[in-house]
Amino acid sequence: MSNQSSSNDAVGTEFQLERTPLRRIQMTLHRYPWLSSLVVLLAVVIFFGAINERFLLPATISLMVQQTVIVGSLAIAQALIILTAGIDLSIGSIMIFGQMLMANLAVYVVASNVLPIAGQNPYIAMFLGVIAAGLAGAINGFLIVRFGLPPFIVTLGTWSVFMGLTLIFFRARTIQGPEMPEEMLFLGEGFAVGPFFVTYGLLLMFAMYFAVAWALRNTAWGKHVYAVGDDPLAAQLSGINANRVLFSVYLVAGLIMGITAIITIGRVGSASPNVDPMLNLQSITAVVIGGISLFGGRGAVVGALIGALIVVAVEMGLSLAGVDQAYRTASIGILVIVAVGVDQWIRKVKA
Amino acid sequence: MSEPIVKARGLVKRFGSVTALNGADFDLFKGEVLAVIGDNGAGKSSLIKVFAGAHTPDEGQMWVNGEEVSFGSTQEARAHGIETVFQTLAVAPALDIASNLFLGREVRKKGFMGTVFRQLDKKGMRRQAAEFLESLGISTLQDITQAVETLSGGQRQAVSVARAAAFGSQVIILDEPTAALGVRESAKVLDLIKDLKARGLTVVLISHNMPQVYEVADRIHVQRLGKRAAVVTPKSASMNDSVGIMTGAIDIPDTDQQLSPL
């Protein structure tokens, strides 16, 4: 037995020896993958703050944070899916479908006599919109789990399908803010905290981040999301129902897209089918820059928020510096590639 | 002859046109270390996957403690006290040691936070995990919150074995536990197997490494062409004999097999 413990010590020391400063940084980043994105965010803010004093004005900061709300909320859904080593291209299209559904229910349904109650009560309209988005997410999950189709292809398909359904059901008509019951625009309102302006939509986004991050850290479901993303076969052999976990992730992601639909109506002040066709890609960008691995199982959801803030801060900083839109777009692209490179390096921590 | 803890008769498992198990029998007695050896494709892995609940056999019967069973999942096998350490280890590399030990059977907090919000009892699980690793003599893993992928191959193997032994199991199946390890780490895993036996657990060891098999096994099940070719003991047959049976150079009649516990 003493022989055994001495060989144990040998293994222990051997393990200690490898801890060079660079390796220690790598290990720390491995444990807290959002840390590198936080450092990048601070560097970006300090850099642009130094070259242009307007960057750090409370009004600019408030604006940047508000600009993050839509992509930041969608990035929660995207982060959950990417943690399972999936990807969701349908994210913007489902959100827009939910948004158009709730706005149309609230505004037009009374006249058509279908579900008259939805028209009278905007809360029911919003609820139905969120449920519809949840169902859309569940359809993605069902196709992926039941038929084993790759998430990339499934969501590429449903991206078009829900875009098409939006045009078929709601035509291309934008519903303007004044047409809608004012309850639907509530999340765009807000209050002043000192010199900063905080919207209720922003608070709701933070609440969603908190809830998802808490669930990932503190529930068995959260552990299983990571385990399935890491290695679905190993998770299955450990007694986890990998399919059920995957399906639940797509369902929850759909519900988050539905809630984001309400936030978007408040933020934009109208419900339009052409909000931003790039939302799906922007949410992926935020997640990747936030240190969540595209290979699944690694990263913290808060990273997605930091990633979204980095994108907005770089855009704003370059724009204040008078840099042309084309260069701004290109620089975000470079940021994504660097972020993926850093992720690869961190994952090499394996002994 | 006492009743085997795990017994199987006439197991058949086909994958399309390939027959992995072709009427295999199996007997495992309480408290022994049974090695399963065989050439590549002899059906060793398929055989243990049936007991692990990862494969459902097409034909044949099996019994655990005399009760006829059939497993549809690894959980059902676990419920009967059979735990398996797969060659791939079935760990979640990015999760920490404690999370891996409890993967798939996490413990929730008591009271409101546990029942309503389903919050896990992380502290309790970490404490239990640390105690358990300590009791198995693998406490070198100083930091229970370390991610498993930062561990060496032997340490990961130890985590997997600890997980298998941790939950009141009776039978632990180890699939090629030393295949990817160096000499010193292999020796530690063999020590761990002896430890498990000393604790009264029953161990099934799949291995290619004859010296290791002869070091720890009480009996040796030789698998050949999807069937049990023979059961020998390290005393009754030399390594050469065992290899001979494995490759078909030596034929052992059914009546001459040593099935009983020692």
Instruction: Verify whether the Cβ–Cβ distance B93 to A297 is below 8 Å.
Output: yes
pTM of the predicted protein model: 0.84
Distance from C-alpha of A163 to C-alpha of A166, rounded to nearest angstrom: 5
pLDDT at A4 over 60: no
Report whether B139 contacts A8 (CB < 8 A). yes
Distance from C-alpha of B215 to C-alpha of B191, rounded to nearest angstrom: 10
Residue A122 lies in a domain: yes
Distance from C-alpha of A295 to C-alpha of A307, rounded to nearest angstrom: 17
pLDDT at B34 over 70: yes
Instruction: Verify whether the Cβ–Cβ distance B149 to A349 is below 8 Å.
Output: yes
Instruction: Verify whether the Cβ–Cβ distance A237 to B74 is below 8 Å.
Output: yes
Residue A12 lies in a domain: no
Terminal CA-CA length for chain A = 27
Across the range A126-145, mean pLDDT stands at: 96
Complex ipTM:
0.78
pLDDT at B174 over 80: yes
Provide, as residue numbers in chain A, all residues whose Cβ is less than 8 Å from the Cβ of B185.
11
Percent of chain A with pLDDT over 90: 56
Q: Is the Cβ of B170 closer than 8 Å to some Cβ of chain A?
A: no
pLDDT at A37 over 90: no
What pLDDT does residue B256 have? Answer: 59
Interface test with B, best of A5, A18, A28, A223 (most B CBs within 10 A): A223
pLDDT band at A23 (very low <50, low <70, confident <90, very high): confident
Which of the residue ranges A34-43, A60-69, A215-224 would you say has the lowest mean pLDDT?
Answer: A34-43
Residue A52 lies in a domain: no
Provide, as residue numbers in chain B, all residues whose Cβ is less than 8 Å from the Cβ of A297.
92-94
CA distance B140 to chain A (A): 6
pLDDT in tens, A297-311: 889 999 999 999 999
Instruction: Verify whether the Cβ–Cβ distance A219 to B142 is below 8 Å.
Output: no
pLDDT at A182 over 90: no
Taking only residues 55 to 74 of chain B, the set having a beta carbon closer than 8 angstroms to any beta carbon of chain A reads: 73-74
pLDDT at B168 over 80: no
Residue A38 lies in a domain: no
Instruction: Verify whether the Cβ–Cβ distance A227 to B150 is below 8 Å.
Output: no
CA count, 13 A, side-chain hemisphere, A327 = 9
What pLDDT does residue B98 have? Answer: 87
Instruction: Verify whether the Cβ–Cβ distance A234 to B92 is below 8 Å.
Output: yes
Q: Is the Cβ of A233 closer than 8 Å to some Cβ of chain B?
A: yes
Instruction: Verify whether the Cβ–Cβ distance A234 to B188 is below 8 Å.
Output: no
- The neighbour count for residue A177, using CB atoms within 10 Å, is 17
**Phi, psi (5° rounding) for residue A95?**
-60, -45
What letter would DSSP give residue B150?
G
Q: Is the Cβ of B103 closer than 8 Å to some Cβ of chain A?
A: yes
CA distance B86 to chain A (A): 8
Q: A9 to chain B: nearest residue by CA?
A: B140
Greatest alpha-carbon span in chain A? 85
pLDDT band at A120 (very low <50, low <70, confident <90, very high): low
Residue A21 lies in a domain: no
Across the range B223-233, mean pLDDT stands at: 88
pLDDT in tens, A61-106: 999 999 999 999 999 999 999 999 999 999 999 999 999 999 988 8
Taking only residues 67 to 106 of chain A, the set having a beta carbon closer than 8 angstroms to any beta carbon of chain B reads: none
Provide, as residue numbers in chain A, all residues whose Cβ is less than 8 Å from the Cβ of B54.
237
Across the range B188-195, mean pLDDT stands at: 87
In 3D space, the residue among B215, B213, B207, B211 whose CA is nearest the CA of residue B176 turns out to be: B207
CA distance B162 to chain A (A): 13
Report whether B9 contacts B61 (CB < 8 A). yes
Distance from C-alpha of A168 to C-alpha of A165, rounded to nearest angstrom: 5
Q: A216 to chain B: nearest residue by CA?
A: B119
CA distance B245 to chain A (A): 32
Average pLDDT, chain B: 85
Across the range A146-172, mean pLDDT stands at: 93
Residues facing B87 on adjacent strands: none
Distance from C-alpha of A126 to C-alpha of A136, rounded to nearest angstrom: 15
Across the range A25-33, mean pLDDT stands at: 77
Across the range A250-275, mean pLDDT stands at: 94
Distance from C-alpha of A241 to C-alpha of A189, rounded to nearest angstrom: 42
Q: Is the Cβ of B143 closer than 8 Å to some Cβ of chain A?
A: no
pLDDT at A117 over 70: no
Q: Which of A252-256, A329-333, B153-157 has the highest mean pLDDT?
A: A252-256
Residue with the bigger pLDDT between B45 and A263: it is A263
What pLDDT does residue B177 have? Answer: 86
Instruction: Verify whether the Cβ–Cβ distance B75 to A5 is below 8 Å.
Output: no
Strand pairing class (B171-175; B82-85)? parallel
Say yes or no: domain B6-94+147-252 is CATH 3.40.50.300: yes
CA distance A173 to chain B (A): 42
pLDDT at A165 over 90: yes
Q: B107 to chain A: nearest residue by CA?
A: A220
pLDDT band at A14 (very low <50, low <70, confident <90, very high): very low
Distance from C-alpha of A128 to C-alpha of B193, rounded to nearest angstrom: 58
Q: Which domain holds residue A329?
A: 58-347
Instruction: Verify whether the Cβ–Cβ distance A7 to B74 is below 8 Å.
Output: no
Alpha helices in B23-121 (DSSP H): 44-52, 74-79, 97-101, 112-115
Q: Which of A272-281, B129-138, B253-262 has the highest mean pLDDT?
A: A272-281
pLDDT at A351 over 50: no
CA distance B249 to chain A (A): 36
Strand pairing class (B227-232; A270-271)? unpaired
Interface test with B, best of A19, A29, A32, A218 (most B CBs within 10 A): A218
What pLDDT does residue A17 have? Answer: 43
Q: A233 to chain B: nearest residue by CA?
A: B90
Percent of chain B with pLDDT over 90: 26
Q: Indicate the helix (H) or strand (E) that contains A190.
A: strand A190-193
State the CATH number of the domain containing residue A78.
Answer: 1.10.3470
CA distance B240 to chain A (A): 31
Q: Is the Cβ of B45 closer than 8 Å to some Cβ of chain A?
A: no
Terminal CA-CA length for chain B = 10
What letter would DSSP give residue B109?
P
The total number of structural domains in chain A stands at 1
Instruction: Verify whether the Cβ–Cβ distance A238 to B90 is below 8 Å.
Output: yes
Distance from C-alpha of B12 to C-alpha of A218, rounded to nearest angstrom: 43
Instruction: Verify whether the Cβ–Cβ distance A7 to B184 is below 8 Å.
Output: yes
Provide, as residue numbers in chain B, all residues whose Cβ is less than 8 Å from the Cβ of A7.
184, 187-188
What letter would DSSP give residue A219?
S
pLDDT at A110 over 70: no
Instruction: Return the number of CB contacts < 8 Å for A and B.
Output: 108
In 3D space, the residue among A70, A38, A41, A59 whose CA is nearest the CA of residue A320 turns out to be: A59
Residue A172 lies in a domain: yes
- The neighbour count for residue B198, using CB atoms within 10 Å, is 9
Q: Is the Cβ of B79 closer than 8 Å to some Cβ of chain A?
A: no
